[in-house]
Amino acid sequence: MPSSIEWTDETWNPVTGCTHVSPGCDHCYMYALYPRLKAMGASGYETGPDEVRLLPARLRAPLSWKKPRHVFVNSMSDVFHPGVPFDFVLDMFLVMQEAASRRGHIFQVLTKRPGRAVAWWKEYEEHFPAGWPANIWMGASVESQKYAARLTVLARLPAQIRFVSAEPLLERLDLTPWLESGVLQWVIVGGESGAGARPMDLDWARTLRDQCSEASVAFFLKQLGGVRNKRGGDAAIIDGRQWRQMPTMEGKHTYG
């Protein structure tokens, strides 16, 4: 379905439900949105948000979207959650590969469990004789320096575009080792929003912007965060401008 997430066009959820793995999950929007969808009688949300559900009827939806778009995969779950069998992950990747070839879509896969992604790829890469599909971008969430090691694991995946979502950004981050070594081609930054939101210091975002600039890596400021107003879109401004850079398949980035 069309997305209000600033760095994508569409969300695709063949899996719903997830569980906490680190402090960045504490106020996850999924836990707030899930009960509303359940109350509305939306398909796929009949149980609780911490129950992982496979929804194979949704698998081939991207093949029906004729206009090329960026697609955030499993915005309401994690592709590499332990509750998602490797065979189902393969089904998803085969659909993504086909949809990318036929429709030109770019798929954005974001996980807090890159170790399981590496284990899946080692077991199933034989299904992709041409290598990791170029139109499948692979990212990891990093909310604090403690979890930056996820990027070292992410580096083991041969995706052409690898990225990090530093949202919610909970402290100052130094991503220089992964930026300068070419592990990352894109950095997304955002403050936490909603009830109980923890504040983001704008200098933390500036620091990451400057690190990206030094390494010529695309930087995207999604939102500043806040309890009642997430300050996204036109309000996501530091130093007098928006920062909405996106990577390209040629390894460069566009400016927004």
Rounded Cα–Cα distance for residues 256 and 222 (Å): 12
Residues spanned by the domain of 79 = 10-254
In terms of Cβ atoms closer than 10 Å to its own Cβ (0-12, 13-18, 19+), residue 250 is exposed
Beta strand ranges found along 106-254 (DSSP E): 106-111, 136-141, 162-166, 186-190, 218-223, 246-247, 253-254
Does the residue 192 lie in any domain?
yes
Cβ–Cβ under 8 Å, residues 208 and 239: no
Does the residue 1 lie in any domain?
no
Does the residue 158 lie in any domain?
yes
**pLDDT for 87:** 98
**pLDDT for 255:** 45
Does the residue 87 lie in any domain?
yes
- pTM for the predicted model, two decimal places: 0.95
Number of domains the chain is built from: 1
pLDDT tens, residue order, the chain (256 aa): 778 899 999 999 999 999 999 999 999 999 989 999 999 999 999 999 999 999 999 999 999 999 999 999 999 999 999 999 999 999 999 999 999 999 999 999 999 999 999 999 999 999 999 999 999 999 999 999 999 999 999 999 999 999 999 999 999 999 999 999 999 999 999 999 998 999 999 999 999 999 999 999 999 999 999 999 999 999 999 999 999 999 987 655 554 5
Does the residue 142 lie in any domain?
yes
Does the residue 5 lie in any domain?
no
Beta strand ranges found along the chain (DSSP E): 10-12, 15-16, 53-54, 70-73, 106-111, 136-141, 162-166, 186-190, 218-223, 246-247, 253-254
**pLDDT for 177:** 98
Instruction: From residue 111, give the alpha-carbon distance in Å to each of 161, 176, 232.
Output: 14, 21, 22
State the CATH number of the domain containing residue 45: 3.20.20
**pLDDT for 218:** 98
